[in-house]
Amino acid sequence: MMSGPQRRTVRDLRRGNRAVLLRALYFGGPASRQELTGSTGLSAATVSNVTGDLLAEGVIVEAGQVESDGGRPRVLLRVNPEHGYAIGVDVGETHVRVELFDLAMTERAKADYALRPARHEAELVARHILAGIDVVLAEAGVGSERMLGVGIGVPGIVEQGPGPVIHAQTFGWESVPLEALLRQGTDLPLFIDNGAKTMGQAELWFGAGRGARHAVVALVGSGVGANIVTDSDTYRGATGSAGEWGHTTVAVGGRRCRCGSLGCLEAYVGAEGVLGRYAEAGGTVASDDEQTALAALLEDDSPAARRVVEETVTFLGAGLGNLINLFNPERIVVGGWAGLLLGRRHLAALREAARRHALALPYGQTTIELGELGPDAVALGAATLVVESFLR
Ligand SMILES: [Zn+2]
C-alpha cells in the first residue's frame, strides 16, 4: 500500500509535468507533441497523456498542423487564450488603471481613475480598484468564474505573507492591508507586488528580458528600483523588499534621499534627484512636471545641464556595475520612464560607465539593453503575477 508522502509525490510529479508543458507552450508558442518531447525532456507517453488532459479541459487547443518529413502532418498545440482571464492593476501617483487581459495578454477592457496629488488614501484606492474590476468584467463580457485573479502593482515595499502589508512612504501608507480592504468587495484571487517589480516581470516575459534566466531589470523613474531574476525567478528576500537598489549608497555622506538616508543612488539618478542637482548647479528646471522637465534638461546644451547629465550617467553606470558584480546577470534591462529617456540618448556612455565600475569578467558576460515595453507596462506586469500562478 502506498504511503501518504509517496502519494503526494506522484501527484506533485503530475502537477509538475503539467506546469512544465504549460510553460513550454506559453513561452515557446505553438508546438507539436514531438517538439514538446524534445524541448521539455519529458517522455513521449507523458507528453501525450498530459496534453490529452489539457485539451480535454480546454486549457490548450489545437492550432493547425505542420508538415513532418515523410510522416503524417503534426498537430500544433497552444495555450487557449480564452481559457481564463487576468486583471492587472497599476496603482500609480496620478491614476489607478485596471486592465483585463486574456491568456495571450491581449487587452480586452480597461478602466482609468485619476488620483489627485496627495490624495492616496488606501480606502479610496481600494474603491477605485473594485469599481474598475466591475467595469472591465462588464465591458469584456467575462463572468467572474472565468477569472484567474487580479494582480496589483503598488508603490513601496510589499511585505508578503498571509495578508500582504504595504509600506509606501510616497503615498503615506504605513502597513496598509490592501488585500483585506479589497476582500470587502471581491472574492477573486489577489496578487499584490511592487509596481516596479511587476513592470520588470513584463519586460522579462514579453520585452527586452525575454529568454534570460539571470537578469536584472533596472527601473529608473522618480524612484529607482530593480527586479532581480535568478534562475528565472524574481528574487524577493526574506519579506519581499529585495531589489531596493535605489537606496544603496553610492556616495557616503552624500545627498539627502527621499528615504531619509544620505547618498542613495536614487538621490542622484531618480528624476527628482537629477532635477534637484540641476537646480543646485544654477540651472532652471523647465516644468513642474518631472517628465517634461527631465526631457528638457536632456535637450539642454548649457554647460551646467551637460555636466549634470554626465554625472547622472556616471552614477547610474556605477549602480549598474554594482548589480553586475553582485548578481552576475546575463542581461540588464534599463527601463522606467526616466531610464528610457536617458538611455535612448546615452546608452553607449552608460555601458561605458558600467564597464568602469564592474569587474571585467562579469561585465564581459552581460549585456545592457533598453526596455521595450515603455513605462505603461505596470498593469500588464501585474497581470503576469496571476498568469504565473496559473502556469504553476
Ligand atoms: Zn534612499
Per-residue pLDDT tens for 115-158? 887 788 999 999 999 999 999 999 999 999 999 999 999 988 89
**d(CA 368, ligand 1 centre) in Å:** 24
Q: What distance in angstroms lies between residue 267's CA and the mean position of ligand 1's atoms?
A: 7
Q: Per-residue confidence at 9, pLDDT binned at 50, 70, 90? A: confident
- Give the whole-angstrom CA distance, residue 272 versus residue 332: 23
pLDDT band at 164 (very low <50, low <70, confident <90, very high): confident
pLDDT of residue 5 exceeding 80, the answer is: no
Ligand 1 centroid distance, CA of 266 (Å): 6
How many angstroms is it from 27 CA to the middle of ligand 1?
36
Interval 253-296: pLDDT, tens: 999 998 899 999 999 999 999 999 999 999 999 898 899 999 99
| pLDDT, tens only, 73-107 | 889 999 999 999 999 999 988 899 999 999 999 99
CA of 264 to the centre of ligand 1 (A): 5
Cell numbers standing for residue 86: 487576468
What is the pairing mode between strands 157-159 and 147-154?
unpaired
Mean pLDDT of the region 11-40: 89
90 DSSP β-pair partners = 97, 153
For residue 2, pLDDT beyond 60: no
Give the pLDDT band of residue 71 (cuts 50, 70, 90). confident
Provide the edge-to-edge strand list for the sheet that holds 60-66. 31-32, 74-79, 60-66
Q: How far is the CA of 354 from the centre of ligand 1 (A)?
A: 21
pLDDT above 70 as % of the chain: 98
Span from the CA of 371 to the centroid of ligand 1 (angstroms): 24
What is the reported pLDDT for 13? 79
Which of 79, 73, 39 minimizes the C-alpha distance to 59?
Answer: 79
Q: How many angstroms does the Cα of residue 271 sit away from the middle of ligand 1?
A: 13
CA of 308 to the centre of ligand 1 (A): 19
Q: How far is the CA of 220 from the centre of ligand 1 (A)?
A: 13
Question: Measured in angstroms, how far is the CA atom of residue 81 from the centroid of ligand 1?
Answer: 42
Distance 257 CA to ligand 1 centre (A): 5
Nearest to 36 by CA among 66, 81, 68, 77: 77
Instruction: Output the CA 260–ligand 1 centroid distance in Å.
Output: 6
Question: How far does the centroid of ligand 1 lie from the alpha carbon of residue 90, in Å?
Answer: 23
Name the band, by pLDDT with cuts 50, 70 and 90, for residue 196: confident
Q: Say if residues 84 and 147 touch (Cβ distance below 8 Å).
A: yes
CA of 249 to the centre of ligand 1 (A): 8
Q: How far is the CA of 26 from the centre of ligand 1 (A)?
A: 38
Q: Over range 21-50, report the average pLDDT.
A: 92
For residues 187-210, give the mean pLDDT: 92
Residue 317 has pLDDT above 70, yes or no: yes
Enumerate the β-bridge partners of residue 109. 100
Q: How far is the CA of 210 from the centre of ligand 1 (A)?
A: 30
pLDDT of 14 > 90? The answer is no
Question: pLDDT tens digit string along 170-193?
Answer: 888 999 999 999 999 999 999 999
Distance 263 CA to ligand 1 centre (A): 7
Contact 54, 46 (CB under 8 A): no
For residue 67, the model assigns a pLDDT of 80
> What count of other Cβ atoms lies within 10 Å of the Cβ of residue 271?
25
**Any idea what the Cα angle at residue 244 is, between residues 192 and 92, rounded to 5°?**
45
For the whole model, what pTM was predicted?
0.83
Average pLDDT along the chain: 92
265 Cα–ligand 1 center, Å: 7
